[in-house]
A and B are shown apart, each in its own frame.
Chain A
Amino acid sequence: MKLLIVEDEPALLEEMKNFLERENYVCEVAVDFYTAVEKLALYHYDGALVDITLPGGSGLQLIEQLKKQNDDTGIIIISARNSLDDKLTGLDRGADDYLTKPFHLAELNSRVKSILRRRKFDGATTIVFNEIELLPDEGLVKIGNTNVFLTKKEFELLLFFISNKNRLLTRESIAEHLWGDNIDLADNFDFIYTHINNLRKKIMKAGGNDYIKSVYGMGYKFTNQ
């Protein structure tokens, strides 16, 4: 899978590139509008991460160009702006998702995966982790032949874990993923604990293993090691 990252802040660009490469994506980068235009004209990408404010032009124009050339490229806007207008404009012009800075890398990862899944396989994929099988489109989880009935939040949580398997997920990043902008309610960490406990119990009750490991009380890791 080949990704193009368009971002003018070098430090952020570097970290995103390193991170995504470790996730086995092939990454190319562009630090300004013209480089991005050139690369999009020359090569084909499976996904593009586009910042809106760029030296030389707007990321929104890039999206339009991209839509004209390769309609199957998944696009995520990465913007410092959190306004509804920008979001709607971006999605209108054909972006698949909108991520507001600052974000957790785990969040970026799960969004990229979800978009590529939708784009490349029309969403008709199952995600498998050992005995656990997820059907994102139907919101179904199976262990062997047993259906596991999860709440919406529990399902999101499991998908987030599996998208970021073997990676430490801080409680902050989990809370942000589950509740978005409304996570500053003081008791969120208790909620996470409750959700994780329920998820763990339901999986184990259906015959699955407990893959959720607590790390130093700062977060969780979904791993079979």
Chain B
Amino acid sequence: MKLLHQTLRVYLFFSVIIFAVSVPLFYFLVQNLWMHDVDESLIFQKDKIVSGIISSGLDPASIAGFSSTAGNLDLGISVSVLSEVRPEKDTIYNNRFYDETRAHIEPFRELKSVVNINQKCYEITIRKDLVESADLIRGITVTQVILFFFLLAGLILLNHYFAKKTWRPFYQLVNLLNTFRIDEEKPIQPEKTEIDEFNDLNQSVSKLTENNIRTFKAQKEFTENAAHETQTPLAAIKTQLDLMAQESGLTKKQAEFIERMDKNLRHLSQLNRNLLLLAKIENDQFDITEPVDIAQTLKEATGIFEEQWKLKGINVQVKIQNSPVISSNAYLMQLLFSNLVKNAVKYNIPGGFIEIELNENIFRIINSGQKKPLPSDEIFRRFYKKGEHDGSSGLGLAIAKRICELLKFGIEYHFEKNNRHCFTVDFDRGFYFSHL
């Protein structure tokens, strides 16, 4: 859930509660005030009637006449003379009457007052129409609902506005983080914003990426330097071994040791070279925009292994269509092809086959080999090895994959029945020049 929706939800929840509480609250408040006001006006009216009777000195007969006239006019006032004397008393209560004009029962507030004027006891009843509670509640609710919807609309609009404006630096930062690649070595540098919190965040992120890049660089340089620096002592050991091999009186056992050491030494230095090469590819030290005649490059690459596959009795078929030229790097293409061809020769079986196909879109090499498929998600990893070939560095396919990534090619492996191991390089994602 978005942060904005989350806050909006909290706001809405809160508003609903306030709304639910406010409607009865308003109702009681308004009713109370209203009732109070009605009661006051009833007493006032009664006082006026009493003072009217006193000042005009009306006799009971005229009072009865007034009362019946008032009754006829539905003024809600009646004055009657009581036969016995009762103490003065005001009673106010609610009552309900059928309202003829409105043709339904209406609530009324009624004052029943006993007064003594000139030794005569009168009962004065005054009633006042009340607003129906239902009407009041309806009125309040409608007003509240309208207000509530205004509030809601305001909240959503404001939220939306803030989402666009206030949170913009945040989304910019997220965007930058999403497109961040450590090997491009460009630290994230977001624009300055007006909001302190975002500035803090931006600064932290910027610092973090700078540090990461520095560490990454140091690590790359270390790989490169380490691989590079070890070559010289390796060279010293190799020459010393050479000299040792020339010594006269060497026993067969000693000779075997020398040969094994020599072999291991070569593996070590080959490993070093491949690591160095990987570091270089990862350091982007190659121009990848030169036009390369890949048909020619492939021929050169296969030429290197021709002797080996002939001696191994491998039947090789090469199909090249259109002599495509692509924007790439000649050395890397040669390396890519030779790594894949080498792989196909090396893991082939005596008397096996290799089928190579090249056109402007793909390079595909299929070879016979062991009868079960290779783990396609593992073979491109560094130092992946198939146990039986201890002589391999385990970096050939990792290098091929890195080259493809750099050149924006796709590379994949799949196994077809009849013992066919198939590697496909898809140039389509690379920039395509022309047919020659």
Complex: chain B residue closest to A79, CB-CB: B231
* Per-position binary interface string of chain A over residues 95-122, scored 1 when its CB falls under 8 Å from any chain B CB and 0 otherwise: 0000011111110000000000000000
Residue pair A184, B392 in contact (C-beta under 8 Å) = yes
Residue pair B235, A101 in contact (C-beta under 8 Å) = yes
Checking A170, A176, A182 against B258 with a beta-carbon cut-off of 8 angstroms, the contacting residue is A170
Please tell me if A84 contacts chain B, counting CB pairs below 8 Å. yes
Residue pair B252, A16 in contact (C-beta under 8 Å) = no
Residue pair B308, A101 in contact (C-beta under 8 Å) = no
Q: Which residues of B contact A11 (CB under 8 A)?
A: 233, 236, 240
Q: Which residues of B contact A167 (CB under 8 A)?
A: 246
Complex: chain A residue closest to B305, CB-CB: A182
Q: How large is the interface on A (under 10, 10 to 19, 20 to 34, 35 or more residues)?
A: 35 or more
Closest-CB distance, A13 to chain B (whole angstroms): 9
Closest-CB distance, B308 to chain A (whole angstroms): 5
Closest-CB distance, A30 to chain B (whole angstroms): 16
Instruction: Say whether, besides A102-B238, A219-B259, A168 and B245 are in contact (CB < 8 Å).
Output: yes
Please tell me if A9 contacts chain B, counting CB pairs below 8 Å. yes
Please tell me if B297 contacts chain A, counting CB pairs below 8 Å. no
In the assembly, what is the distance between CA of A183 and CA of B280, in Å?
Answer: 22
Residue pair B233, A9 in contact (C-beta under 8 Å) = yes
Please tell me if B206 contacts chain A, counting CB pairs below 8 Å. no
Chain A, 120-144, CB within 8 A of any chain B CB:
none
Chain A, 194-225, CB within 8 A of any chain B CB:
194, 215-219
Residue pair B231, A18 in contact (C-beta under 8 Å) = no
Residue pair A186, B346 in contact (C-beta under 8 Å) = yes
Complex: chain A residue closest to B347, CB-CB: A186
Please tell me if A67 contacts chain B, counting CB pairs below 8 Å. no
Q: Which residues of A contact B267 (CB under 8 A)?
A: 184
Dominant secondary structure of chain B at its interface with chain A = helix
Q: Which residues of A contact B434 (CB under 8 A)?
A: none
Please tell me if A44 contacts chain B, counting CB pairs below 8 Å. no
Residue pair A187, B312 in contact (C-beta under 8 Å) = yes
Looking at B228, B243, B245, B277, the one whose CB has the most chain A CB atoms below 10 A away is: B245
Please tell me if A80 contacts chain B, counting CB pairs below 8 Å. yes
Closest-CB distance, A223 to chain B (whole angstroms): 12
Residue pair B256, A182 in contact (C-beta under 8 Å) = no
Looking at A9, A101, A153, A188, the one whose CB has the most chain B CB atoms below 10 A away is: A101
Residue pair A216, B255 in contact (C-beta under 8 Å) = yes
* Per-position binary interface string of chain A over residues 174-194, scored 1 when its CB falls under 8 Å from any chain B CB and 0 otherwise: 001001011111111011001
Residue pair A153, B307 in contact (C-beta under 8 Å) = yes
Instruction: Say whether, besides A102-B265, A182-B342, A83 and B256 are in contact (CB < 8 Å).
Output: no
In the assembly, what is the distance between CA of A192 and CA of B55, in Å?
Answer: 147
Residue pair A101, B234 in contact (C-beta under 8 Å) = yes
In the assembly, what is the distance between CA of A182 and CA of B346, in Å?
Answer: 11
Please tell me if B263 contacts chain A, counting CB pairs below 8 Å. yes
Q: Which residues of A contact B307 (CB under 8 A)?
A: 153, 191
Please tell me if B276 contacts chain A, counting CB pairs below 8 Å. yes
Please tell me if A165 contacts chain B, counting CB pairs below 8 Å. no
Please tell me if B232 contacts chain A, counting CB pairs below 8 Å. yes
Residue pair B236, A171 in contact (C-beta under 8 Å) = no
Please tell me if B229 contacts chain A, counting CB pairs below 8 Å. yes
In the assembly, what is the distance between CA of A17 and CA of B234, in Å?
Answer: 17
Residue pair B256, A216 in contact (C-beta under 8 Å) = yes
Residue pair A215, B235 in contact (C-beta under 8 Å) = no
Instruction: Say whether, besides A168-B246, A185-B346, A15 and B258 are in contact (CB < 8 Å).
Output: no
Please tell me if B331 contacts chain A, counting CB pairs below 8 Å. yes
Q: Which residues of B contact A181 (CB under 8 A)?
A: 270, 273
Residue pair A216, B252 in contact (C-beta under 8 Å) = yes
Residue pair B311, A15 in contact (C-beta under 8 Å) = no
In the assembly, what is the distance between CA of A15 and CA of B243, in Å?
Answer: 8
Residue pair A170, B273 in contact (C-beta under 8 Å) = no
In the assembly, what is the distance between CA of A35 and CA of B229, in Å?
Answer: 22
In the assembly, what is the distance between CA of A80 and CA of B231, in Å?
Answer: 6
In the assembly, what is the distance between CA of A179 and CA of B345, in Å?
Answer: 15
Residue pair A9, B235 in contact (C-beta under 8 Å) = yes
Q: Which residues of A contact B342 (CB under 8 A)?
A: 182, 185
In the assembly, what is the distance between CA of A101 and CA of B250, in Å?
Answer: 26
In the assembly, what is the distance between CA of A186 and CA of B167, in Å?
Answer: 62
Please tell me if B262 contacts chain A, counting CB pairs below 8 Å. yes
Closest-CB distance, B390 to chain A (whole angstroms): 9
Please tell me if A81 contacts chain B, counting CB pairs below 8 Å. yes
Complex: chain B residue closest to A152, CB-CB: B307
Instruction: Say whether, besides A153-B307, A218-B259, A182 and B252 are in contact (CB < 8 Å).
Output: no
Chain B, 1-51, CB within 8 A of any chain A CB:
none
- Smallest CB-CB A-B distances: 3 pairs: A80-B231, A102-B235, A101-B235
* B residues neighboring A (CB under 8 Å): 228-229, 231-240, 242-243, 245-246, 250, 252, 255-256, 258-259, 262-263, 265-267, 269-270, 273, 276-277, 280, 285, 304-305, 307-308, 311-312, 331, 338, 342, 345-346, 389, 391-393
A-B contact sample (12 more), CB < 8 A, given A9-B236, A80-B229, A102-B236: A11-B236, A100-B231, A102-B237, A102-B238, A102-B239, A172-B263, A184-B392, A185-B342, A187-B312, A191-B311, A216-B256, A218-B255
* A residues neighboring B (CB under 8 Å): 9, 11-12, 15-16, 18-19, 80-85, 100-106, 153, 167-168, 170-173, 176, 179, 181-188, 190-191, 194, 215-219
